[in-house]
């Protein structure tokens, strides 16, 4: 079997789906190879998208022309905007999804892209040639069925499958996910080519038959009364019906039962060597690390409209099955719980991400890209955005165009990739809003304004998306101008604002100054000004987005400007490029640690060099002196 395509994407998870879709939508012919066509875009862990930091990423993927936001909207069973009690920089959208519908929708979207082709097979290795400059380059992949598929770029999105081992108590067996085998061969070959690999672990909780849960003793957690959605496009609409999630709690009795299995826990016995996610620990890790806490919150999440299977979020474990069951049945509401499948841990290979560039192309092999958990990340959203960026950059390289790289002040995606390649990671990396130094600029509500023009310029975001954004921008400008110029008299304003506990006005004031008061919001401005209400009514389906933008931009104008000024102050370092062949080893004025880390990371700019752990201001001064010479 001999076949040739532009790009081969290895793996059909969230990174693989976004990579294949992006490259194909831009014009490359793509072959997506997956071990099981039946589980493309499988939600291996909890059936949810978004959350703190992660929801911003989904919005950014959508603004760039990716598909995760649309697929999430079409499979939503509950939607919530988290952190609404805080400022807009912290607002984070999250959807609970129908697991089966999510995967089905993703596959339908991929099959609707003419340039995406599929093969159910296992990739056992890559084909590498040497170019005229002696550089290793991709020429194809080898498959488990004995075929060679020729291509010009390969995107590895292997997830948790590389040399994967699953653990349940004292039992261990090969596999990257329940019911699916591990992938072997790639790690060994990449190591021979000079790559460094490591081990990480992740885990998942038991799934329970929802019919066996007594919901009457649980706390109900409903979705938003007026749910939003992820996608900026008009392809989707907010969900009109929702399922509830529920909350229960562990107890000292539950903890004591779990402790009886610690001597058979693969984590405590040392059978698991890989580092697990700090911010999503197993239940046994939580009760061990936080021994002073007598209870932990457990979220009971439905897996879809037409199934009773229920996800027990917060109870991730690899303890023996009988210990899992005994402890679960001591949770309030779970006395008669029936287990569909036990929780388990997966240990797998990853490659420290300092070995890739900002484009996610590897430094050692031209045309080879890493995306997702192979780079040491955890989470669907982190994987999906890497797949999107790898797919974009693989296509751009093949058509000999400039790479597409997002800066830290442009997107959470830029923060994530820069963190990975600059600092590396020794534990599964998860996005949080706190990782972004410019998070007032990187809000979930303005991702389309930040990114859609950039994506449209490279040929990914559609003309329809760009036209929609332009209409929205015109509406925002007009409404903002009106609110800045329209005034309101005391006899109109005071009856509205005084009962809110804010000071009365004594003379006519501009509406934008009223909006600065924390007790007032945009809806109040419409109440006080018929001209504003009339203009907003003409925005049709864009009204909600436009009014939200106007409120945020006017209410937080001072903070937004301060952050823009900060970007300007630090941008001078980002604009100083560092030559790829800079002889760090010969710069004796640098510290030994700086020479080692600079050689390893090979930063593109002085700004990136300054963010490397262990690089001091003195080291940056040495580099500036050298560049000046």
pLDDT confidence of residue 338? 97
- According to DSSP, the β-strands at 198-204 and 297-302 are unpaired
Question: What is the number of alpha carbons within 13 Å of residue 449 lying toward its C-beta?
Answer: 17
Instruction: Please say if the pLDDT value at position 551 is more than 70.
Output: yes
Alpha-helical (H) ranges within 79-141 are 99-111
Instruction: Please say if the pLDDT value at position 279 is more than 90.
Output: no
- How many CB atoms are located within 10 Å of the residue 152 CB? 19
Instruction: Please say if the pLDDT value at position 629 is more than 70.
Output: no
> How many Å is the maximal CA-CA distance in the chain?
83
Cα–Cα distance measured from residue 29 to residue 35, given in angstroms and rounded to the nearest whole number: 20
Q: What are phi and psi of 167, to 5 degrees?
A: -130, 130
Cα–Cα distance measured from residue 380 to residue 45, given in angstroms and rounded to the nearest whole number: 9
In tens, the pLDDT along 334-382 reads: 999 999 999 999 999 999 999 999 999 999 999 999 999 999 999 999 9
In tens, the pLDDT along 158-213 reads: 999 999 999 998 888 888 887 788 889 999 999 999 999 999 999 899 999 999 99
Instruction: Please say if the pLDDT value at position 71 is more than 70.
Output: yes
116-120 sheet: strands from edge to edge: 116-120, 30-34, 7-10, 153-156, 368-370
Average pLDDT (278-285) is 83
Domain ranges of the chain: 2-204+348-458, 207-345, 463-563, 576-628
Q: Tokens standing for 15?
A: 């990174």
Which letter does DSSP use for residue 356 in this model? B
- Which has the higher per-residue pLDDT, 437 or 73? 73
pLDDT confidence of residue 335? 97
State the burial class of residue 413 (Cβ atoms within 10 Å of its Cβ: 0-12, 13-18, 19+).
buried
Instruction: Kindly compute the dihedral angle of the four CA atoms of residues 136, 138, 142, 143, in this order, to the nearest 10 degrees.
Output: 140
In tens, the pLDDT along 393-405 reads: 999 999 999 999 9
Q: Tokens standing for 624?
A: 């500036």
Helix (H) or strand (E) holding 299, with range, is strand 297-302
Structural contact between residues 191 and 180, judged by C-beta atoms closer than 8 angstroms: no
Task: Band the pLDDT of 469: cuts 50, 70, 90.
Answer: very high
Instruction: Please say if the pLDDT value at position 529 is more than 70.
Output: yes
Highest mean pLDDT among 270-279, 475-484, 558-567: 475-484
Instruction: Please say if the pLDDT value at position 594 is more than 80.
Output: yes
Taking each helix axis from N to C end, the angle separating 54-64 and 412-423, rounded to the nearest 10 degrees, works out to 110
Q: Which CATH superfamily is domain 2-204+348-458 in?
A: FAD/NAD(P)-binding domain (3.50.50.60)
pLDDT confidence of residue 498? 93
Structural contact between residues 159 and 351, judged by C-beta atoms closer than 8 angstroms: no
Q: Which CATH architecture has domain 207-345?
A: Beta Barrel (2.40)
- How many CB atoms are located within 10 Å of the residue 569 CB? 9
Cα–Cα distance measured from residue 66 to residue 44, given in angstroms and rounded to the nearest whole number: 20
Please provide the average confidence, as pLDDT, over all residues in the chain: 93
Cα–Cα distance measured from residue 208 to residue 339, given in angstroms and rounded to the nearest whole number: 5
Q: Tokens standing for 150?
A: 């020729």
pLDDT confidence of residue 274? 77
In tens, the pLDDT along 301-313 reads: 999 999 999 999 9
Instruction: Please say if the pLDDT value at position 481 is more than 80.
Output: yes
Instruction: Please say if the pLDDT value at position 482 is more than 60.
Output: yes
Burial readout 420-448 (b: 16 or more C-beta within 10 A, e: otherwise):
bbbbbbeebbbbebebbbbbbbbbbbbbb
Of 86-90, 396-400, 458-462, least confident by mean pLDDT is 86-90
Instruction: Please say if the pLDDT value at position 2 is more than 60.
Output: no
Q: Tokens standing for 521?
A: 């919001």
pLDDT confidence of residue 266? 84
The third-level CATH classification (topology) of the domain covering 463-563 is Arc Repressor Mutant, subunit A (1.10.10)
Structural contact between residues 152 and 7, judged by C-beta atoms closer than 8 angstroms: yes
Please give the C-alpha separations between residue 191 and each of 161, 194, 213, 232, 351, in angstroms, as whole numbers: 16, 5, 48, 42, 10
Cα–Cα distance measured from residue 68 to residue 95, given in angstroms and rounded to the nearest whole number: 12
In tens, the pLDDT along 94-149 reads: 999 999 999 999 999 999 999 999 999 999 999 999 998 889 999 999 999 888 99
pLDDT confidence of residue 178? 79
Average pLDDT (436-440) is 91
Q: Tokens standing for 350?
A: 């990853």
Structural contact between residues 510 and 486, judged by C-beta atoms closer than 8 angstroms: yes
Structural contact between residues 390 and 370, judged by C-beta atoms closer than 8 angstroms: yes
Structural contact between residues 228 and 93, judged by C-beta atoms closer than 8 angstroms: yes
pLDDT confidence of residue 567? 87
Cα–Cα distance measured from residue 441 to residue 447, given in angstroms and rounded to the nearest whole number: 9
Of 113-122, 225-234, 253-262, 582-591, least confident by mean pLDDT is 582-591
In tens, the pLDDT along 203-243 reads: 899 999 999 999 999 999 999 999 999 999 999 999 999 99
The distance of Cα 120 from the centroid of its chain, to the nearest Å, equals 26
Overall pTM > 0.85: yes
Burial readout 3-33 (b: 16 or more C-beta within 10 A, e: otherwise):
eebbbbbbbbbbbbbbbbbbbbbbebbbbbb
Q: Which CATH architecture has domain 576-628?
A: Orthogonal Bundle (1.10)
Structural contact between residues 42 and 66, judged by C-beta atoms closer than 8 angstroms: no
Q: Hunting for tokens 């990371």 — which residue is that? A: 601
pLDDT confidence of residue 383? 98
């Amino acid at each position: 079997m001999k076949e040739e395509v532009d790009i081969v994407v290895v793996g059909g998870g969230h990174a693989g789906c976004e990579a294949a879709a992006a490259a194909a939508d831009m014009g490359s012919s793509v072959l997506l190879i997956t071990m099981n066509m039946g589980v493309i875009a499988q939600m291996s862990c909890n059936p949810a998208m978004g959350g703190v930091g992660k929801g911003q990423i989904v919005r950014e993927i959508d603004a760039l022309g990716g598909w995760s936001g649309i697929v999430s909207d079409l499979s939503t069973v509950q939607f919530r905007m988290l952190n609404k009690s805080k400022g807009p920089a912290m607002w984070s959208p999250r959807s609970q999804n129908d697991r089966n519908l999510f995967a089905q929708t993703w596959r339908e979207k991929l099959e609707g892209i003419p340039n995406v082709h599929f093969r159910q097979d296992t990739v056992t290795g890559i084909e590498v040639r040497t170019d005229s400059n002696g550089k290793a380059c991709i020429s194809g992949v080898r498959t488990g069925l004995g075929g060679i598929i020729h291509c010009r770029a390969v995107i590895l999105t292997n997830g948790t499958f590389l040399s994967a081992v699953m653990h349940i108590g004292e039992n261990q067996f090969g596999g990257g996910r329940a019911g699916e085998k591990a992938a072997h061969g790639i790690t060994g070959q990449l190591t021979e080519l000079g790559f460094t690999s490591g081990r990480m672990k992740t885990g998942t909780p038991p799934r329970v038959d929802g019919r066996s849960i007594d919901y009457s003793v649980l706390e109900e957690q409903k979705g938003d009364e007026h749910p939003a959605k992820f996608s900026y496009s008009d392809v989707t609409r907010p969900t009109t019906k929702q399922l509830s999630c529920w909350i229960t709690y562990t107890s000292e009795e539950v903890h004591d039962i779990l402790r009886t299995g610690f001597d058979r826990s693969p984590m405590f016995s040392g059978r698991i060597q890989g580092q697990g996610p700090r911010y999503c620990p197993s239940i046994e890790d939580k009760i061990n690390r936080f021994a002073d806490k007598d209870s932990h919150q457990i979220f009971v999440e439905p897996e879809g409209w037409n199934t009773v299977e229920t996800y027990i979020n917060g109870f991730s474990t690899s303890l023996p099955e009988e210990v899992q069951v005994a402890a679960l049945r001591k949770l309030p509401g779970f006395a008669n719980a029936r287990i569909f499948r036990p929780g388990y841990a997966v240990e797998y290979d990853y490659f420290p991400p300092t070995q890739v560039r900002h484009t996610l192309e590897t430094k050692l092999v031209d045309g080879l890209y890493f995306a997702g958990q192979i780079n040491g990340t955890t989470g669907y959203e982190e994987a999906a955005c890497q797949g999107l960026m790898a797919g974009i950059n693989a296509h751009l390289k093949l058509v000999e165009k400039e790479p597409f790289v997002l800066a830290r002040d442009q997107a959470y995606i830029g923060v994530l990739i820069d963190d990975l390649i600059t600092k590396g990671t020794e534990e599964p990396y998860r996005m949080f809003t706190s990782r972004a130094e410019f998070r007032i600029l990187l809000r979930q509500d303005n991702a389309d304004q930040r990114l859609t023009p950039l994506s449209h310029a490279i040929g990914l975001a559609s003309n329809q998306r760009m036209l929609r954004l332009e209409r929205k921008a015109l509406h925002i400008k007009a409404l903002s101008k009106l609110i800045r110029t329209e005034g309101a008299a005391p006899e109109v304003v005071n009856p509205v604002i005084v009962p809110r506990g804010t000071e009365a006005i004594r003379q006519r004031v501009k509406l934008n100054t009223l909006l600065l008061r924390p007790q007032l919001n945009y809806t109040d401005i419409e109440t006080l000004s018929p001209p504003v209400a009339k203009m907003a009514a003409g925005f049709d389906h864009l009204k909600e987005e436009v009014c939200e933008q106007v409120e945020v931009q006017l209410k937080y104008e001072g903070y937004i400007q301060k952050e823009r000024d900060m970007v300007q102050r630090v941008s001078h370092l980002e604009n100083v490029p560092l030559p790829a062949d800079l002889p760090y080893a010969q710069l004796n004025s640098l510290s030994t640690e700086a020479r080692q880390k600079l050689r390893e990371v090979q930063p593109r700019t002085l700004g990136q060099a300054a963010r490397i752990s262990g690089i001091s201001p003195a080291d940056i001064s040495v580099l500036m002196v050298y560049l000046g010479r």
